[in-house]
Amino acid sequence: MEDERSFLDICGGPLTLRRRYYSSYCREFGLSSARLSLRSVTAVTCTVWLVAYGLFTLFENSMILSSAIFITILGLLGYLHFVKIDQETLLIIDSLGIQMTSSYASGKESTTFIEMDKVKDVIVNEAIYMQKVIYYLCILLKDPVKPHEISQVVPVFQSTKPRLDCLIEVYRSCQEILARQKATSASP
Amino acid sequence: MVLKAFFPTCCASADSGLLVGRWVPEQNSAVVLAVVHFPFIPIQVKELLAQVQKVSQVHVAVLGTWCHRQQEPKESLGHFLEGLGAIFSHDPWLQLCRERGTRFWSCKAYHQVSTTPDKSIEDQVMLIFYDQRKVLLSWLHPPTVLPDCQAGDTTASAGGLADIFDTVARSEVLFQNNQFDEGPVRLSHWQSEGVEASILVELTKQASGPVCLLLASLLSLLSAVSACRLWKLWPLSFIRRKLSTCEQLQHRLKHLSLIFSTQKAQSPTQLMKKANMLVSVLIDVALGLLLLSWLHNNNRIGQLANALVPVADRVAEELQHLLQWLMGAPAGLKMNRALDQVLGRFFLYHIHLWISYIHLMSPFIEHILWHVGLSACLGMTVALSILSDIIALLTFHIYCFYVYGARLYCLKIYGLSSLWRLFRGKKWNVLRQRVDSCSYDLDQLFIGTLLFTILVFLLPTTALYYLVFTLLRLLVVTVQGMIHLLVDLINSLPLYSLGLRLCRPYRLADKPPAL
């Protein structure tokens, strides 16, 4: 079953949440943010080149212009490959684990997998972020030595940063699966 | 609970047969290791599994059936497969089915309920594909056993997926027979097309045995020679402690004997350490040979030797200027003329002696440098240690000045503190290790005060000399320290692990790859 809804992120930008219910114990949530707009790329390139041209007229050295071109190209490639995250996905499978995937604009994907045995709970927490108070979804991990204590907090959807309404949807589905998992693990 | 079946990707296109693997009850998962093809004799299959179990300590069993067929009617195969369930009883019994050419899979698992043997409960099955080749090529660490766990506790919370992949990694012996072996049982797994190996690696493994033996015996001979009692006699042991070259050589000898020791590495960490040491020794020797070739062409050694004596002269001249400056009015401070002259003349004479020794040695310097340059073939680290030792020897007079200045200063401070106590009417009680009051006689007080004033007024001069020579010594020590830092870097940089991280990152993996 597939479902798509649009939400807003904390800065007001548009987000799309795509929910897929593969089965009663396997769900996937994909959050995609807006792609890199042509307007911002043009603006940055023009600024850099104008500054370079200004420096060129000051110093009469043509290296400034070629280095400005290189900087622009390399900067754009680096931004697309290392910084701009297009989509973040959360895949939760009962009794196996939780997998978080971030896909960058250049096509690179980086995944993190957490086993279900290490997951204590999935919660929505508040944080103070500059002048705002925001909500974020995070996964609490158990300490292997002391199972009643929390050893790590892993935040999810860190670069798309959705608002509370979107987080509640994801939170409810995750809690259904975790409740199921706790019920089955309590009664072997 | 959902039953998890871990299925190797290489068996997805194999013919129909039996599934062989391990059942992990704590996690309700079945790890399929291989597929046994028809035709087979059940006794031989059971024998093979018992053999594998004995060697690898992994409880392998027949887990179920695998059916890879064209769209045939199910009945003919269905009864046959049920019959197999009766021969190899396993609870739960898996039935994986795939239609050839499509992506349609059917996975069922049957639990036998002991009270009613006819009925069986069906479970939901989650099929998880894993790449056997990647799991076996990465050197996975064994799953950690928690120190608090009693023996008998299920390590489900600590093991998890690590347990599953450890099972696969430990059953290597099952993957040794391939389709070219004339065995009674035909298996299908990641190596069934042929065992993967590299000729070079196999050849080096065969050759390493006798080579290691030979080198180990040579190195033990060398270590015995270096540990003999002759070196413990006074002048030799003193020189040995002071020269960093001897220390570096001993270090390298230890490394080499560890690398070429005849016992195999016990764990992956030890293997890594050995490999890192070997790579560092090889790189060291390569850099040393490079340095050697650079030194010996264009007669650089001769140029160096010719440049050495003027440099030493120049240093001595600068020192003399410094001393003349100190003997005058350095930085506007007014020194005690007599003490100044004495100390300055003493140090100037010392420098003069030193320069004479250098000039005496100058005809031999080229030969010495040539022979020392040959030692670079033992490694760049040895060459750098020799350089550091040469610097120490050439600046020996600075070291001497520092020692004299420090001794004088130390004596002065000691005297001053003792006389200061006398001035105040106190005394240091050696027995009680504290300051006690004491009544002195008049003549003791008189002489004490006199000496105190003398020492106080001579303090700036001594302090200045001490400061200047300490700074010079610090400079030399800094240069030597940088050279030793470089030597340590070459010694301890784990280049093998870095190279492995760049070229074959899966060998360094310690967690199973993502889903």
* Minimum CA–CA partner of A186 in chain B: B1
> Above 90 in pLDDT, residue B390?
no
Where are the alpha helices (H) located in B57-109, listed in sequence order? 74-87
3-class SS of residue B183: coil
B484-493 own/partner pairs: CB under 8 Å, 24+ apart? B484/B244, B484/B385, B484/B388, B486/B384, B487/B244, B487/B248, B487/B381, B487/B384, B487/B385, B487/B388, B490/B280, B490/B283, B490/B284, B490/B287, B490/B380, B490/B381, B490/B384, B491/B251, B491/B280, B491/B381, B492/B280, B493/B280
pLDDT above 90: percentage of residues in chain B: 11
Lowest mean pLDDT among A93-102, B205-214, B412-421: B205-214
ipTM of the complex: 0.81
Residue labelled with tokens 């093998």: B496
Contact partners, residue B240, CB within 8 Å, separation at least 6: B231, B246
More confident: A34 or B230: A34
- DSSP code, position B312: H
Q: Residue B260 is encoded by which pair of tokens?
A: 């070429």
Residues of B in contact with A99 (CB under 8 A): 514-515
B160 vs A93: CB contact, 8 Å cut-off?
no
Interface contact flag, B146 A99, Cβ < 8 Å: no
**Which string of DSSP letters, residue by residue, matches B248-284?**
HHHHHHHHHHHHT-SSPPSSHHHHHHHHHHHHHHHHH
C-alpha distances (whole Å) from B515 to each of A112, B164, B219 are 10, 14, 49
Beta pairing, strands B3-8 & B29-37: parallel
Preferred mutation among A95, A102, A103 to probe B, highest tally of B CBs within 10 A = A95
Chain A residues in contact with chain B using a Cβ-Cβ cutoff of 8 Å: 25-26, 91, 93-97, 99, 111-113, 115-118, 142, 144-145, 147, 184-185, 188
Please tell me the total number of residues recorded for chain A in this structure: 188
DSSP one-letter code for B291: H
Token couple for A117: 């045995």
Confidence check: pLDDT of B307 > 70: yes
pLDDT at residue B511 tops 70: no
Q: Do A144 and B157 touch (CB under 8 A)?
A: yes
Considering only CA atoms, which of A25, A75, A27, A24 is closest in space to residue A47? A75
pLDDT, tens digit, 9 for 90 and up, residues A114-168? 988 889 999 999 999 889 999 999 999 988 788 788 889 999 999 999 999 999 9
Residues of chain A contacting residue B126, judged by C-beta atoms under 8 Å apart:
25-26, 93, 95-96
Contact between A108 and A81 (Cβ < 8 Å): yes
Q: Among A25, A142, A188, select the one facing B2 at the smallest CB separation.
A: A25
Mean pLDDT of the residues in chain B? 82
3-state secondary structure at position A146: coil
Handedness of CA B240, B241, B246, B251 (dihedral sign): positive
Whole-number pLDDT of residue A140: 93
- The nearest CA of chain A is from the CA of B143 a distance in Å of 13
DSSP code for B41: -
| Ramachandran angles phi, psi of A18, nearest 5° | -115, 115
Interchain contact, A144 vs B158, CB within 8 Å: yes
Of B476 and B154, the structure prediction assigns the larger pLDDT to B476
State how far residue B190 is from chain A, nearest Cα, in angstroms: 24
Work out the average pLDDT over A99-124: 92
Q: How many CB pairs under 8 A join A and B?
A: 43
Joined together, the tokens standing for residue B497 give 């692990």
pLDDT digits (tens, 9 = 90+) for B354-383: 888 888 888 888 888 888 778 888 888 998
Q: Which residue's structure tokens are 């790329």?
A: A41
Give CA–CA dist A82/A90, Å, rounded.
Answer: 20
Structure tokens at A125: 């927490």
In chain A, the percentage of residues whose pLDDT exceeds 90 is 71
Encode pLDDT of B29-74 as tens digits: 889 988 888 777 888 888 888 888 888 888 888 888 888 876 655 5
For the segment B199-211, the average pLDDT, to the nearest whole number, is 87
The mean pLDDT value for B193-208 works out to: 83
Q: How far is CA B325 from CA B318, B328, B333, B396, in A?
A: 11, 5, 11, 22
Q: Environment class of residue A117 by beta-carbon count within 10 Å: exposed (0-12), middle (13-18) or buried (19+)?
A: buried
Distance (Å, whole) CA A182 – CA A12: 37
Regarding predicted confidence, which is higher, B510 or B155? B510
Q: Quick check: A117 and B160 CB within 8 A?
A: yes
Q: Read out DSSP for B400-437?
A: HHHHHHHHHHHHHHHHHHHHHHHHHTEEEETTTTEEEE
CB-CB contact of A14 with A74 (8 Å): no
Contacts with B124 from chain A: Cβ below 8 Å: 25
Q: Which residues in chain B have their CB less than 8 angstroms from residue A22's CB?
A: none
10 Å Cβ neighbour count for B415?
Answer: 14
Are A26 and A173 a contacting pair, CB within 8 Å? Answer: no
- What does the H/E/C string look like for B214-248? HHHHHHHHHHHHHCCHHHHCHHHHHHHHHCHHHHH
The model carries a pTM of 0.70
Record: contact A145-B28, CB cut-off 8 A? no
pLDDT tens by residue, B261-278: 877 777 777 888 888 999
Non-local CB neighbours of A115 within 8 Å, separated by 6+ positions: A96, A97, B160, B161
Highest-confidence range of A167-171, B185-189, B237-241, B435-439, by mean pLDDT?
Answer: A167-171
**Where is average pLDDT lowest: A44-48, B82-86, B347-351, B465-469?**
B82-86
Residues 6+ apart with CB under 8 A from B75: none
Query: Any idea which fold A2-36+84-186 has?
Result: PH-domain like (2.30.29)
Letter for the amino acid at B330? P
Residue ranges covered by each domain of chain A: 2-36+84-186, 38-82
